[in-house]
Structure 1
Amino acid sequence: MKHFIKLLSASFLALTLLTVTGCASTKTHEGTGEYLDDSVITTKVKAAILNEPTLSSAEINVETFKGIVQLSGFVRSTASINKAIEVASSVGGVKSVKNSLQLK
C-alpha cells in the first residue's frame, strides 16, 4: 500500500510539473497569462484608435506580444503615424510601440 501511495504521489507531482512548465513563457512563446494580457492590451489599443477621430481604425492593424504593441498598415499622413503611436503608447500595459505603419 505504501508503494502505491508513493507511486501515486510521484505521478501527481510529475503531472503538476509538466502542467506548470507547459504554461511557462519563453523568448518566442507567450505563457497563458501573458497571452490573455496581450489580448486585453490589443483590444484597448484598437478601441483607443477607434475613438480617435483623426485615425481610421480600418487602416491600422494592432498586434501585441509580451506588452510590446506593433502597429502596421497604410495611413494617409505622417501625422496619422505619429498620432497612432501616441494613442497606443498611452494605453495602460503597453511597454513599447513598434511602428510598421507606412504611407499610402
Structure 2
Amino acid sequence: MKNISAVSALIATLMLTGLAGCAATPQQESTGQYVDDTVITSAVKASILNEPTLKVNEINVETYKGVVQLSGFVRSEDNIATAIRLARGVSGVTAVKNDMRLK
C-alpha cells in the first residue's frame, strides 16, 4: 500500500513538473504563444509577399509575444511605411518595431 502511494505521488509530481515546463515566463513564451507568434509571422510575410512594391527577401520578420520586429534593407521610406502598415493590419499583432534601413 505504501508503494502505491509513493508511486502515485511520484507520478503526480512528474505531471505537475511537465505542466509547469509549458508555462510562460517573462523571458520565455509558452507553447501556445510560440504557435500564435509563428502564425503571425507567416501572415505578415504573406502580406509582404502579396504587396508588389515590396520584396519579401529584403525584409526579415520576427514575432515575440505578439510584437513584430521588421528588419532588413529596403529601397525607400515608402517601402518601410508600407511594411509597417501591412504588419499592423495582421490579426494578433500588438506592436511593430521597425529596424529596417535604406539601401
Say yes or no: does 1:77 pair with 2:92: no
Alignment-derived partner of residue 44 in structure 2: 45
Residues in 1 aligned to 2:8 and 2:54: alpha-carbon distance in whole angstroms: 58
Residues in 2 aligned to 1:38 and 1:66: alpha-carbon distance in whole angstroms: 6
Between Structure 1 and Structure 2, how many residues are aligned? 103
Normalising by structure 2, we get a TM-score of 0.95
Q: CA deviation at 1:12?
A: 1.5
Q: CA deviation at 1:5?
A: 2.3
Q: CA deviation at 1:32?
A: 1.0
1:49-72 Cα shifts (integer Å, max 9, x gaps)? 000111111100000001110000
Q: Which SS does the other structure have where 2:85 is aligned?
A: helix
Alignment-derived partner of residue 5 in structure 2: 6
Alignment-derived partner of residue 91 in structure 2: 92
1:75-102 Cα shifts (integer Å, max 9, x gaps)? 0111110100000000011111010001
Percentage of pairs with the same residue: 56
Show structure 1 runs of 5+ residues with no match. Answer: none
Residues in 2 aligned to 1:6 and 1:15: alpha-carbon distance in whole angstroms: 14
Say yes or no: does 1:19 pair with 2:28: no
Alignment-derived partner of residue 32 in structure 2: 33
**Runs of 4 or more above 2 Å deviation:** none
Normalising by structure 1, we get a TM-score of 0.94
Q: Which SS does the other structure have where 1:74 is aligned?
A: strand
Q: CA deviation at 1:44?
A: 0.6
Q: Which SS does the other structure have where 1:58 is aligned?
A: helix
Q: CA deviation at 1:19?
A: 0.5
